[in-house]
Amino acid sequence: MTHKSLASGLLLAAGMLFLTTDAMAATTPQPKIVVIDRSTVMRLSKVGQDIVRQINAYTTQAESDLKAKGQALQRDGAAFRQQSAILSNDLKNQKLRALEARSAALKDEVQKRQTLIQGGFIKARGQVEQALGPILQGIMAERGANLMLDRNSVVLGTVDVDVTQLAVQRLNQKMPTIKVELVAPPPGMLQQAQQQQPQQ
C-alpha cells in the first residue's frame, strides 16, 4: 500500500466518522428544560391549602376527643394512688391492671387516629398528583420542553424556565378542593407520610 492510498483511506475514514457524528447529533434532540417546585405547588395551591386545613381540623378534633379520656384516666390514676395504701393487695392489683389496660387502649386509639389522618393525607396528595400530571404534560407541550426538573435539582441557570406558578394557577382551576378521607395508609407509606405531612 502506498502512502497516497493510505492517506486517502485515512481521509475517507475521518470523513465517515465526521458524517456519523453529525448524523447522530442531528437525530439526538437538544434538551429543552422546564423547572417546577412540586412542594411549592402543594403549599400554594388552593387544593394544597384545603388539604392542610382539613388535616389540621382532623387533628384538633382527635385531640379534643381524646383529651377528655386522658384527663379521666389521670384523675382515676391520682385517686388510685391516694387509695392504694388502704386497699387490699388483690383489689390494688385489680385496679392497677384496669388503669394500665385503659392507658394502653388510649395509646392505641391515639395511634389509630394519627394513622388514619396520615392515610388521608397520603390519599389526598396522591389524587392531587394525578390531577397535576396532565397539567404538567400540557405545560411541557406548550413550552416545547422535553425535560422537566425539580427546582431543588437546579444549582444555577441563566434562563427563567420555572413553571411552578403556572402549574399552581392551572391546578387551582382544575382542582380547587378535595375531600380528605380518614383511611389507613398503604403499607410502607406511613413513614414517608410522616416526612411529608405539613407542619401544624
Half-sphere exposure in the Cβ direction for 111 (13 Å, CA): 7
Instruction: Quote the CA–CA distance of 32 and 143 in Å, as a whole number.
Output: 8
Report the run of H or E that residue 148 belongs to, with start and end.
strand 147-150
pTM of the model: 0.71
**Structural domain that includes position 69:** 30-196
- 151 in a domain, yes or no? yes
- 97 in a domain, yes or no? yes
10 vs 161, residue with greater confidence: 161
- The percentage of residues in the chain with a pLDDT greater than 70, rounded to a whole number, is 80
- 12 in a domain, yes or no? no
- 23 in a domain, yes or no? no
Give the mean pLDDT of 159-185: 93
Which residue(s) pair with 35 in the sheet?
Answer: 149, 162
**Whether residue 24 has pLDDT greater than 50:** yes
Closest Cα to residue 44, out of 134, 147, 151, 161?
A: 151
- 4 in a domain, yes or no? no
- 14 in a domain, yes or no? no
Name the domain count of the chain.
Answer: 1
Residue for cell digits 405545560? 139
- 60 in a domain, yes or no? yes
- 2 in a domain, yes or no? no
- Predicted confidence (pLDDT) per residue in 79-94, tens digit: 888 888 788 888 888 8
